[in-house]
Structure 1
Amino acid sequence: MTAQMPAPVVLENSVVRLEPLTADHVPDLFAAGGGDDEVWRWMPTPAPATKEELAATAVSVSANHVAFAVIHQGRAVGWTTYADVPGFDESVEIGWTWYGRSVWRTAVNTSCKILLIDHAFSLGHNRVMFKTDHLNLRSQAAIRRIGGVHEGTLRRHRRRADGSWRDSVYFGILEEEWPEHRARLNR
């Protein structure tokens, strides 16, 4: 089976609903994390200071990724995406993820990742990849918690929004590893 790049679909469980990111989500998203430098600290763009800036960023993200608004208790609280991974057969990346502080340290991130990883493997992908800034220890811990295995670090991989160099830490979950991790997360 040849893996397909995921299409914009709705994915849902008892904690979150992931729906294709649109301009309609911008007011809730701005309320959740717009202008919050800590929320946007590790993102490739600075914190949007206005709803218009956030809308422009959302359009840019959606043009290059399969982007989802993360809906929790009826409101958009962040976004997450799938991205193609050139050079890695039947792989997909989950990234460009952010959440407002109100849902940090809740079940939101784990619930999103379960939906996204399940969906990726159902489409025939053999691996799901993640990358994060080498200084973003909170993100690295979250990726490890869901089962991500450290696969390496690309030094000076990309520039941060402030112009400094970022090393990117790569993680992966293989299809055959996922059932055990999924069962543990659901417990």
Structure 2
Amino acid sequence: MQLVPKTLENDWLRLEPLQEHHRETMRPLADDPATWEWTTLRGDGDHFDTWFDLMLSEQEVGRQISHAIYRKEDGELVGHSAYLVISPRNKRAEIGWTWYTKEARGTKVNPAAKLALLSNLFESGAERAELKTHGKNLHSQAAMRKMGAQYEGTFRRHTLTWKGDLRDTVWFSVLKEDWPGVRRGLLARLS
């Protein structure tokens, strides 16, 4: 698997590899406490620079590829998503750290972003895409199921959140052989 930072595009979105020049444009968009309700690290307010610096540093050492997500119809920056826990040897990566501005939630942005990210991942030679979320984040779990990702289980008390509690982590996957059906479903949602 050869996964490298590059701009991803489809009819709806442009996903640019995250760089320092995105910081100040992204800062006010991340300043919504609801965005960070279920995360392990906060990125709103005074916490933004710590979060943004982590995204960049993980990318610099090859553990992550973060993306600033732009909506094509108006050129607006509407969120962030990343490949993380990239394992070329095992031909897999996780898609996560996904968040969108309030006005972009519930629109075509999420299916279009997943279409771009999953297309690139499988074209890069992946056999498996992983997704995970907080056990209490029912909205995210519903979105993963609607996309066609397969529920794989729940790791109880798996990860410490920024609030100090241990969250249950719910895991989903899309395998290479699942991808054609998932792709058709995403395209149907976007048409």
TM-score w.r.t. length of structure 2: 0.88
Confirm or deny: 8 A CA contact 2:42 2:48 kept in the other structure: no
Could you tell me how far apart the structure 2 residues matched to 1:28 and 1:48 are?
A: 13
What residue in structure 2 maps to residue 48 of structure 1? 44
* Matched ranges for 1:1-187 at <5 A: 3-4=1-2, 6-34=3-31, 36-50=32-46, 53-64=47-58, 65-72=64-71, 73-84=74-85, 89-187=90-188
Asked whether the equivalents of residues 157 and 168 of structure 2 are also in contact (C-alpha less than 8 Å), the reply is yes
SS for the counterpart of 1:39 is helix
SS of the residue 1:116 aligns to: helix
Cα 1:86–1:11 shift into 2, 3 Å: closer
1:110, distance to aligned residue in structure 2 (A): 0.5
Q: How many residues align?
A: 181
Structure 1 range deviating more: 64-73 or 101-110? 64-73
CA contact (8 A) 1:81 1:97 kept: yes
TM-score normalised by length of structure 1: 0.90
Q: Which consecutive unaligned segments of at least 5 residues does structure 2 have?
A: 59-63
Contact kept? 2:130, 2:174, Cα under 8 Å:
yes
Identity, % of aligned pairs? 34
Unaligned runs of 5+ in 1: none
Of Structure 1 and Structure 2, which has the larger fraction of its residues in helix?
2
Q: Aligned partners of 2:56, 2:147: CA distance in 1, in Å?
A: 25
Kindly report the root-mean-square deviation, in angstroms, between the aligned alpha carbons of the 2 structures: 1.7
